[in-house]
Amino acid sequence: MIKEKTQIIRKTGILEFYPQTDSFNDVGGLAELRDWFAKRLPAFNEEGGRAGLPLPKGVLLVGVPGCGKSLTARALSSAWNAPLLRLDIGRVFGSIVGKSESNLRSAIATAEAVSPCILWIDEVEKGFAGAGSRRPGDSGVTARVFGTFLSWMQEKRSPVFVVATANKIEALPPEFLRKGRFDEIFFVGLPGPKERDAIWRIHLAKRHRDPDAYDIESLVKGSGGFSGAEIEQCVNDALFRAFDARHQQQPDRDLSDDDLANALAATTPLAKSRPQDIERLLAWAEHNARRAG
């Protein structure tokens, strides 16, 4: 069955089938978001239809880069046991004039044929930026494709759950954010101490190290303002440091607290280098989105 579905998807080129790799065990924090998903699962299944629950349409995840938006889309696919299709919004706007709208329509038709499924539209702002105001040379194509997408979202009756992600809210047309399009808009922000604790543990365990053998408390303290991706990067960097030391002169040497501390000290998180970006997002999220964790 899955094989057949994969075939349909290959033909279109705009949709990509993603194998289920991550689960929510790989995600640190984002408790609110997970809880929301857990409550919607019955509604996504037939059981919920019989109980009269409205079919979940989708969520928009807005947030700080590297905090787990894409990871969440992949984990949701495992949690709901539904195939994950990634829609490349850039490819919808192909080079052939007049093809963009039909590209989107055929991608939608494919997703519906494959449903129940998760349709993941990453960095949605890149495709729909300026849909409200005409871009020079665009002649309204973006606006038309955008309109097609919005009306599909509004009228959708098939179990195609959309997970759209965005980093830049300024670029999103306001219609996108209006109620009724997405079930909810979540803000995925920088992890707090409890979440960082979980994230350090996840990434150490992924590299086959026992998290309890390390000074997690110091790592959590030292990584204030770090994203999940930056924490993962530190673990990787520390592993290289350890490997290098072992090669040099210490054959028994494994990853140490010092390696991790040194990697941490060598990293400048985005929150430090570009604080204005994050502050702007936070100010927007306060009134426009629900917190993911």
Residue 229 sits in the site that holds ligand ATP (CB under 6 A):
yes
Residue 110 sits in the site that holds Mg ion (CB under 5 A):
no
CA distance 138 to 130: 10
The torsion defined by the Cα of 200, 205, 209 and 213, in degrees rounded to 10, comes to 50
Residue 227 sits in the site that holds Mg ion (CB under 5 A):
no
Residues 73 and 177: beta-carbon distance below 8 Å: no
Using the 8-state DSSP alphabet, how is residue 135 labeled?
Answer: P
Give the residue with the Cβ less far from ligand ATP, 232 or 259.
232
Interacting positions 268-287 with ligand ATP (CB under 6 A): none
Residue 71 sits in the site that holds ligand ATP (CB under 6 A):
yes
Q: Report the residue number whose CB is nearest to ligand ATP.
A: 228
Residue 70 sits in the site that holds Mg ion (CB under 5 A):
yes
Residue 77 sits in the site that holds Mg ion (CB under 5 A):
no
Residue 219 sits in the site that holds ligand ATP (CB under 6 A):
no
Residue 127 sits in the site that holds ligand ATP (CB under 6 A):
no
Determine the residue type at 257. Answer: D
Residues 57 and 162: beta-carbon distance below 8 Å: yes
Residues with Cβ < 8 Å from 35, sequence gap 6 or more? none
**Residue 183 interaction partner, one of ligand ATP, Mg ion, none, beta carbon < 5-8 Å per kind:** none
For the record, the structure tokens of 44 come out as 């996504």
- The count of chain residues that interact with ligand ATP, using the rule CB under 6 A, is 20
Using the 8-state DSSP alphabet, how is residue 26 labeled?
Answer: G
Q: Is 55 helix (H, G, I), strand (E, B) or coil?
A: coil
Binding site for ligand ATP (CB under 6 A): 27-30, 63, 65-71, 165, 167, 191, 199, 202, 228-229, 232
Binding site for Mg ion (CB under 5 A): 69-70
